[in-house]
Amino acid sequence: MKYIALLRGINVSGQKKIKMAELRQQLELHGFKQVKTYIQSGNILFEAAEASADDLAKEIKGLIQSHYGYKVSVFVLSPDQLAAIIQHNPFVPQHNDMLNRVFGAVLSSEVDQSSLDDLKKYMAQDDKMYAHQQYLYFVVPNGMGKSKLTNNVIERVLKAKATTRNWNTMLKLEALLSEMD
């Protein structure tokens, strides 16, 4: 079965450096098949025997910790979950011309509405936000430099682990997934 793993906080500002070619090799040595990575921020596509996303995330997390010595959050999605994330983004049609300013955050738990209200305090004037299940969507028309909706703020306010990708990356992952045999 095909899966997507999103790693949180690697190769950012010189922290937790992991070369993707080496990571692909390590995953293949541990039995993962057709391992592909996309850019250096920890986007992995692979095939594995059918298993729960939590079990696969724990396996990848353990492999990274034992091989690299880093504790990282790992989020594993099925193709159906990725498709649902993409389908439920309400900001894409009207912001198609700036997909690098549209984001999706995958969370470790569902969003609580009162926490979402607290998160709105960190939005810049033109920012927009929407939550659906374990996914947070937001658009920052004036750029991330004007917004305080960072991954660290999202985690702290929502009390959940999170990893965030811009929409171009999410669409590229969907395309790469469809190219896998």
- pLDDT tens-digit profile of 25-43? 999 999 999 999 999 889 9
17 DSSP β-pair partners: none
Q: What is the pTM of this model?
A: 0.93
Q: Which stretches of the chain drop beneath a pLDDT of 70?
A: 13, 181
What's the one-letter identity of residue 24? R
State the pLDDT at residue 13.
Answer: 66
Q: Where are the domains of the chain?
A: 2-77, 81-179
CATH among 3.40.640.10, 1.20.1090.10, 3.40.50.150, 3.30.70.1280 for 2-77: 3.30.70.1280
Enumerate the H helices of the chain as residue ranges: 20-29, 53-68, 79-87, 113-119, 151-158, 167-179
Q: So what CATH class is 81-179?
A: alpha beta
Edge to edge, the sheet with strand 135-139 lists 128-132, 135-139, 102-107, 162-166
Sign of the dihedral through C-alpha 66, 68, 73, 78 = negative
User: How many whole angstroms separate alpha carbon 103 and alpha carbon 175?
Assistant: 17
Question: CA 88, 167, 151: angle at the middle one, nearest 5?
Answer: 95
pLDDT-above-70 percentage for the chain? 98
**How confident is the model over 105-136, as pLDDT tens digits?**
999 999 988 899 999 999 988 999 999 999 99
State the pLDDT at residue 66.
Answer: 95
* CA end-to-end distance (rounded Å), the chain: 11
